[in-house]
A and B are shown apart, each in its own frame.
Chain A
Amino acid sequence: MSISAEYAQEHINDPAVLCCRREAGTKLSHHDFEDPAIFDDLVSSGLLKLDGAITIGQAMGATLTKTLDSLNPVLKDCVDKVQEAAAPAAVSSAPAAPASSNQGATTSVAGGKLKIHIGEGKGIDLEIPMGLAGGAGAAGTGASAGAAGVSSGAAASAGGEKVVRTLTRKHYNITEVKRGKETKIEGTTLYIRKGIEEEAVATQELVHDLKLDIITKDKYHTYSETIMDTQPIATKEGDSELGSGVTRVLDNVVMLLTGTTDEGVQIGEFGSSEGYLDENVMWGRPSCPDYGDILIRGTVKIENKKNMERPGPLAAHKAFDVITQEIRMALKELDDSLVVNTEKFDQVRRPGKKKVALVKEIMGQGAMHDNLILPVEPVGVLGAHPNVDLCNVPVVCSPLEVLDGCIHALTCIGPASKEQSRHYWREPMVLELLHDKEIDFAGVIFVGSPQINSEKFYVSRRVGMTCEAMDVEGAIVTTEGFGNNHVDFTSHIEQIGMRGIKVVGMSFCAKQGALVTGNKYIEAMVDNNKSEAGIENEILGNNTLCPEDAVRADLMLKALMAGESVKKPEKEWNPNVKSQNVELISNVTGKPVELVKNETSLPMSEKYKKKYANAK
Chain B
Amino acid sequence: MATKKKTKAAIKAKAKATKAKAAKAVKKIKKAVKSTAKKVKNDAKKVIKNVKQTVQAFKTSGDIVLLLKQGVGKPCVPCVKKGDKVVVGQLIAKPQGLGANLHSSVDGVVTKVTDAAIFIKSNKILSSLGQIVPKTIKAKKDDMLACVTEAGIVGMGGAGFPTGVKLSTEVKDGYVLVNAVECEPILAHNMAQLVRYSNETIKGVHYVMKITKAKHGIIAIKQKHKEEIEAVLKALKGITDIHVHLLPDIYPMGEERAVVRECLGKLLDVNELPSAANAIVINVETVLRVYEAIEFGRPAVSKNLTVSGKIKGINNGVKVFYDVPIGLKVKDVIEAAGGIDGKYGEIIMGGPFMGKPCKLDDPITKTTGGIIVTEPFKDYKGAKVGLLVCACGANEDRLKDIASKYNMKVVDVEYCKQAKDPKGNGVYKCENPGNCPGQALKCMNIKKAGATEILISNCSDCTNTVMGSAPGLGLNVHHATDHIFETVGMEVQRHLKKSKFVEGPIPEGCTASRNPESNEPGGINSVSHAGGAGGVSADYSKPYVFREDSPEGEILISIESGSDISVKWED
Chain A residues at the B interface, C-beta cutoff of 8 Å = 1-2, 19-21, 23, 25-27, 31, 34-35, 38, 41-42, 45-47, 61, 63, 69-71, 112-130, 133, 137
Contact = CB atoms under 8 A, between A and B. Distances in A.
B125 interface: no
A45 B447 CA distance: 11
B444 interface: yes
Contacts of B442: 1
A149 B475 CA distance: 51
Interface of B: 417, 435-442, 444, 447, 461-462, 464-465, 468-469, 472-473, 496, 499-501, 515-518, 553-571
B473 A47 contact: yes
Chain B CB within 10 A, most for which of A19, A35, A115, A121: A19
Contacts of A41: 444
B440 A122 contact: no
Given A71-B468, A120-B562, A112 B438 contact: no
Contact of B562 (A2, A19, A38, A121): A121
B464 A35 contact: no
A20 B464 contact: yes
13 contacts: A1-B441, A19-B440, A20-B465, A25-B515, A26-B515, A35-B441, A42-B440, A61-B563, A69-B464, A70-B436, A71-B468, A115-B568, A126-B556
Nearest to A67: B499
Contacts of A133: 555, 569
B567 A126 contact: yes
A574 to B, nearest CB: 23
A45 B444 CA distance: 9
Contacts of B561: 121-123
B568 A2 contact: no
A45 B472 contact: yes
Nearest to B496: A21
Nearest to A137: B571
Contacts of B555: 127-128, 130, 133
Contact of A117 (B465, B517, B567): B567
Nearest to B547: A126
A115 B569 contact: yes
A20 B418 CA distance: 13
A114 B567 CA distance: 8
Contact of B559 (A21, A42, A121): A121
A22 to B, nearest CB: 9
Contact of A71 (B469, B515, B559): B469
Contacts of A116: 557, 566-569
B565 A19 contact: no
Contacts of A47: 440, 468-469, 472-473
B559 A124 contact: yes
Contacts of A71: 440, 468-469
Contacts of B447: 45
B438 A70 contact: yes
Nearest to A111: B571
Contacts of A124: 558-560, 565
Contacts of A25: 515, 517-518
Contacts of B517: 25-27, 63
Contact of A126 (B500, B501, B557, B563): B557
Contacts of B565: 117-121, 124
Nearest to A3: B438
A25 to B, nearest CB: 4
Nearest to A46: B472
Contacts of B462: 20
8 closest Cβ pairs, A-B complex: A19-B438, A114-B569, A70-B468, A20-B436, A1-B438, A25-B517, A120-B563, A116-B567
Nearest to B565: A118
B553 to A, nearest CB: 5
Given A45-B472, A70-B438, A128-B557, A1 B417 contact: yes
A28 to B, nearest CB: 11
Given A124-B565, A130-B555, A2 B417 contact: yes
Contact of A119 (B473, B501, B560, B563): B563
Contacts of A122: 560-561
A38 B444 contact: yes
B194 to A, nearest CB: 29
B439 A23 contact: no
Nearest to A129: B554
B552 to A, nearest CB: 9
A137 B570 CA distance: 11
B420 to A, nearest CB: 14
A311 to B, nearest CB: 44
A318 to B, nearest CB: 49
A20 B518 CA distance: 20
A125 B565 CA distance: 12
A115 B567 contact: yes
Given A20-B464, A113-B571, A70 B437 contact: no
B454 to A, nearest CB: 14
B36 to A, nearest CB: 40
A45 B562 contact: no
A27 B464 CA distance: 20
Given A2-B437, A19-B436, A120-B562, A113 B465 contact: no
B439 A1 contact: yes
B472 A125 contact: no
A19 B561 CA distance: 25
B444 A113 contact: no
A133 B570 CA distance: 9
A35 B445 CA distance: 15
Chain B CB within 10 A, most for which of A25, A70, A130, A137: A70
B301 to A, nearest CB: 45
Given A69-B464, A121-B561, A128-B557, A34 B438 contact: yes
Contacts of B562: 118, 120-121
Contacts of A119: 563-565
Nearest to A114: B569
Nearest to B552: A130
Given A19-B465, A20-B461, A128 B436 contact: no
Given A21-B461, A116-B557, A126-B556, 6 more contacts: A20-B464, A47-B440, A47-B473, A71-B468, A124-B559, A128-B555
Contacts of B515: 23, 25-26
